[in-house]
Chains A and B, each alone.
Chain A
């Protein structure tokens, strides 16, 4: 396996300049505020609000259909994404290993035909959510495109006090 070459002094200088300029462009405030995770669905799905328990049943695969008999398709970010960490910690209350074992067992029991579909970016999540009827995706609340519906949880939207997914 070939290791990347060490940084040359000039490259280091270039990077340092870039970092310094970027910092100055933000007026010296380098911290990016983290936002909540929004639950997004297609705008034509006749759902506006879910209780947290309903959301958990959806995510556990115990509820597989929307009330309109449209099948639920779960879109979950790949391991390492902040959105996935929040979903696992808040909704599933599982570690990464437990989550994996849960879905292997769920499919093996024939309780579900497949686990969540894995998406590798918020952009991919929103694109698939817009394309697949019944899909539900979890994306950074600041990156929700127009045309998708953000579901409330217990009547709360991302940014509201008491919103659970952050």
Chain B
């Protein structure tokens, strides 16, 4: 760099030197001094480069023959893997396979509420505990490995602090490890991609948009209808998925069709080791991302399964859901609805349970756009006649909060929630979270 600068100065000074033949003695003296200064600087640069080469010897570059392209300049290491610089360390543009990339998410939480005792069916991730205090959230590891240009592996592992995860008597607190997603996918083209594995069931926008990345979602907790460990929506799905997208005259229609094991006997769990009956669950999810207005997504899903739950009747399950989201932040808008129909096969009343939420947020233009206030209202209604959803709480909840992105990859969230519960007293609570990606 210095050498280039010096060379540029020399080039610039050539006409000056030529003019110096006729310049006055003072100017000539100044030019001579400047040239001497350049000489001394060049010597210093040579010394520094000599020192550098002796300290860190580098292998000689292969000679570039005539007609051969020079190697592509070495790539600076990325500041962070999320800068998306998956350029190989070699100077070749082609990737070597497998090409593994690791990313992660984590969060730390604090909660305080007027709840003293059981929360009436809410999942631990909702942070509705009988004591106030800090809690470790989930540590999530996300693995992506390109096996070839068209075949990719995606994995998601979580480590969750639980009061009963340890062994011994009485059960001691510990961490629960879980494979949340394990997918291998062959991308034939945009219209047709086929995959196998364990998914977050794509019948709900939130369930597939944010997964276990708490930092990605605006709020601290997920809506209860898709809470991890919850029963309302089958959060996980084990099987195969065919998906694709087609332009459809600017509507950009995306589809997903899946066939899998469906719910296990504990209905909040998928059938990881195998199905519990000979009836596969299937689903169809379709959504539009139109060119105009840019940022809008509208879609709906259908899911069908046959359940054989512990402590409940064998029943056919139909789920219909719909969503509309505006993914920009000024404002951000998410709304979803789901209806779950249970039809007992050997007698008993059919039941329809509904859940919905509406969430809005706005990225404020001040303070470097670091603050985003938000509000969400959600409801789950389970009729008393629904024998399968007995553990699912019926409630309406209001959540208001503020997200502060104190770093591009970390956020602090503070929120207040109020729950109206059927047959139970309301819950008020304040919650905070530091979430990040790494």
A residues whose Cβ falls under 8 Å from a Cβ of B: 10-11, 13-14, 17-18, 21-22, 25, 53-54, 56-57, 62-65, 69, 71, 78, 93, 95-98, 100-101, 103-105, 107-110, 113-118, 120-121, 123-124, 127-128, 131-132, 135
Contact = CB atoms under 8 A, between A and B. Distances in A.
Contacts, number: 129
B342 interface: no
B122 to A, nearest CB: 26
B266 interface: no
Contacts of B16: 17, 21
Contacts of B8: 18
17 contacts: A14-B9, A14-B38, A18-B8, A18-B12, A53-B292, A54-B247, A57-B247, A64-B190, A71-B149, A98-B329, A101-B408, A105-B216, A107-B103, A109-B208, A116-B84, A117-B85, A118-B85
A93 B327 CA distance: 12
A121 to B, nearest CB: 7
Contact of A118 (B84, B94, B247): B84
B146 A121 contact: no
A71 B84 contact: no
A97 B367 CA distance: 14
Given A13-B34, A17-B16, A118-B87, 17 more contacts: A14-B37, A21-B13, A21-B15, A57-B252, A71-B149, A100-B408, A100-B409, A101-B408, A105-B209, A105-B213, A108-B103, A108-B211, A110-B154, A115-B86, A118-B84, A124-B75, A132-B93
A78 B329 CA distance: 24
Contacts of A64: 187, 190
B83 to A, nearest CB: 6
B189 interface: yes
Contacts of B187: 64-65, 71
A121 B72 contact: no
Interface in B250-300: 250, 252, 289, 291-292, 294
Contacts of B181: 110
Given A71-B150, A104-B82, A62 B144 contact: no
Contact of B84 (A25, A117, A128): A117
A117 B209 contact: no
Contacts of B9: 14, 18
Given A21-B16, A127-B72, A128-B72, A115 B84 contact: yes
B144 A107 contact: yes
B43 interface: no
Contacts of A118: 78, 83-85, 87
A109 B154 CA distance: 9
Nearest to B151: A113
Nearest to B142: A108
Contacts of A63: 190, 245
Interface in B207-253: 208-211, 213, 216, 245, 247, 250, 252
Contacts of B409: 100
A128 B72 CA distance: 8
Contacts of B76: 78, 120
B98 to A, nearest CB: 11
B101 interface: yes
A112 B208 CA distance: 13
B193 to A, nearest CB: 9
B90 to A, nearest CB: 13
Contacts of A115: 84, 86
A97 B407 CA distance: 9
B289 A69 contact: no
Contacts of A13: 34
B216 A101 contact: yes
Contacts of A56: 291, 294
B291 A53 contact: yes
B198 to A, nearest CB: 12
Contacts of A65: 187, 189-190
A138 B247 CA distance: 24
B33 interface: yes
Contacts of B402: none
Nearest to A95: B369
A114 B209 contact: no
B141 to A, nearest CB: 11
A53 B154 CA distance: 29
B86 A110 contact: no
Interface in B98-149: 101, 103, 142, 144, 146, 149
A14 B216 CA distance: 52
